[in-house]
Structure 1
Amino acid sequence: MVVVGVSSLKGGVGKTTVTLGLASAALARGVPTLVVDLDPQADATTGLDVAARRESTVADVLANPRRGEIAKAVAPSGWAGDQPGVLDVMLGSEQTLDHDYATRPRAMRALATALSKVPWYDLVLLDCPPSLGGLTRTGLVASDRALVVSEPAIFSVAAADRALRAVESLRRSEAPHLQPLGILVNRYRERSPEHRYRLEEMTGLFGPLVLRPPLPDRSAVQQSQGATTPVHRWPGHGGAELAAAFDTHLDRVLRAAPSRAR
């Protein structure tokens, strides 16, 4: 099982879009996947078309990471025809905000403890909040790899640098197993001189951690999300281009072997 924390220290860069795109690629390939919606906005839960109601959410799992509580918080995505175990979601909730100030080691390891009890998934994607609070730290402590989402813009470049520094700080303390998967640039337009400049700037700063290809800026993203449909099923050239990019990045994710036993 590979656990990937999808994170950003700047809002609005498309962190949930990347989570959904990787989930779409995993579903198309038949990789059993769990998406954990740690963001209090719970957009990943909405985007994955979860119809089933559950007694619990990820907030309850963080408070009580027992197998029974986990089962009550996980529901199948409508993308998979509501079939459990294909593409599941640990439901998001506003109540996760109560855990954003967790600092005790036991609280920080609550999600890692919970994930050790669901070994039947090959891939776990954690959609972290766009800040370095307790929730993001808890998610990264539970992760094998950190995927930082950015945009080709000056403030996003600075945020990506802060995110990588945060990952390194966690590696030296609570999460010695954690490794950066890289920086994935979202909403990239090849014809934009500014975008090309920022991509080159990030490559100069972070080297091979800047993942290729960047995700192209296509309306198929908003359209497929509005229809709560996987981008791999969205018709047209834009959907196919995005699907191919996410397939490439899923390959990279799956090659990232876990660095510790769970």
Structure 2
Amino acid sequence: MQVVSISSLKGGVGKTSVTLGLASAALAAGIPTLVVDLDPHADATTGLGVRAGGQLDIGRLLKNARRADLAANTVPSGWVETAIEQNLAGSGAKPVLDVAMGSAFSGIYDRPDLGRRDLRRLSMLLSRVTGYGLVLIDCPPSLNGLTRMAWTASNRVLLVAEPGLFSVAGTERTMRAIELFKAEYAPGLQTAGIVANRVRSSSNEHTFRLAEMKQMFNELLLSPTIAEQANWQQIQGAAHAVHHWPGESARQASEYFDELLRSLVGAGRLRSRVARR
């Protein structure tokens, strides 16, 4: 089971949008996926069209991590019904896209003084979960306890940045933070790469910053970059997967996220999915 934290130490770069795009690609590819919404704002939970029915949110599960049953408290994304209706779920097996719901309650752990025992709370919850090929953790935009808890539980960290001065500088700080965290807490943690998000090809500033990012981060800067989508707010506001949204712009965005997903989990399953389209 591949566990990937989607992180940025700067807010407003589209971190949750990338999480949702990857979840959409995983659903389209037929990869059983769990999204853990660790951001207290819980935007991923909203965007995934979750309809809770009494399940505990991730904050309350973390509070009782030794005994809590994460599997019993996940909620299917509302996207699954659409995938079944549109026959977008692969070979006919029921698609799996579950959500560990976010809530403001998780904010009690978003502080800088968590010890090793607290940092392992999410790891304990995930250790008792089976049946998923991929776990995506949407982290808050900080290096406090929740992000470090996510990194402790993860195999890889995927960084999200915009091609702007402050975001590029923030990404460089995040890279240094990951190296320090690996040395002290998680020697097996890997950087999956850096996603350049909300890229405007017509912007000279974006062109300059992308060239700067390529020079700074080399092969860690992933391809393709994610172009700014004029209808992205509409798609998220409707709580739809980008793969389910009509139009050329959404189709192109879907292909971007398919490509990014390949870099995380390998190309084989996505090739079979593309062949069936």
Please give the range of the TM-score, normalised by the shorter of the 2 chains: over 0.9
Tell me which amino acid in the other structure corresponds to 1:26: A
Residue in 2 aligned with 1:27?
Answer: 27
Instruction: State the secondary structure of the residue aligned to 1:69.
Output: coil
Is the alpha carbon distance of 1:240 and 1:7 closer, same or farther for their aligned partners in structure 2, counting shifts above 3 Å?
Answer: same
* Alignment-derived partner of residue 128 in structure 1: 139
Partner of 2:37: 37
Across the two proteins, how many residue pairs are aligned to each other? 256
Distance 1:218 1:100 in 2: 31
If the length of structure 1 is used for normalisation, what is the TM-score?
0.94
Specify whether residues 149 and 222 from structure 1 end up closer, same or farther in structure 2 by C-alpha distance, changes over 3 A only.
same
Q: Distance in 2 between matches of 1:68 and 1:107?
A: 15
- Report the Cα offset of residue 67 of structure 1: 6.0
Matched residue type, 1:100:
D
1:227 aligns with 2:238: yes
| Displacement of 1:116 | 1.1
Kept after mapping to 2: 8 A contact 1:54/1:72: no
Give 2:100's aligned residue: 90
Q: Is the 8 A contact 2:55 2:74 kept in 1?
A: no
Instruction: Note the aligned Cα RMSD (angstroms).
Output: 1.7
Is 2:171 the counterpart of 1:157? no
Of 225-234 and 98-107, more deviation after overlay is shown by: 98-107
Please report how far the alpha carbon of residue 68 of structure 1 lies from its aligned counterpart in structure 2 after TM superposition. Answer: 4.5
- Matched to 1:124, the amino acid is V
Structure 1: which amino acid aligns with 2:212?
E
Taking a change above 3 Å as real, the CA distance of residues 85 and 177 of structure 1, as seen in their structure-2 partners, is: farther
Q: Could you tell me whether the CA contact under 8 Å between 2:8 and 2:161 is conserved in 1?
A: yes
Residue 108 (structure 1) aligned with residue 119 (structure 2): yes
- In the other structure, the counterpart of 2:88 is none
By how many angstroms is 1:73 displaced?
Answer: 3.0
- Per the TM alignment, residue 85 of structure 1 is displaced from its structure 2 partner at its CA by 7.0
Deviates more, 1:25-34 or 1:80-89: 80-89
Q: Is the 8 A contact 1:220 1:234 kept in 2?
A: no
Structure-2 residue corresponding to 1:192: 203
Post-superposition Cα deviations, 1:184-210, rounded to whole Å, max 9, x if no partner, equal: 010001121111100000110111111
Q: State the partner residue of 1:174.
A: 185
Q: Do the aligned partners of 1:202 and 1:210 also contact (CA within 8 Å) in 2?
A: yes
C-alpha displacement of 1:174: 0.8
Report the counterpart of residue 128 of structure 2 in structure 1. Answer: 117
- Of stretches 75-84 and 189-198 in structure 1, the one that deviates more from structure 2 is 75-84
The match for 1:260 is none
Q: Percent identity?
A: 50
Any stretches of 5+ residues in structure 1 without a counterpart? 257-262
Cα distance in 1, alignment partners of residues 220 and 137 from structure 2: 19
Structure-2 separation of matches of 1:61 and 1:7: 21
1:246 matched to which residue of 2?
257
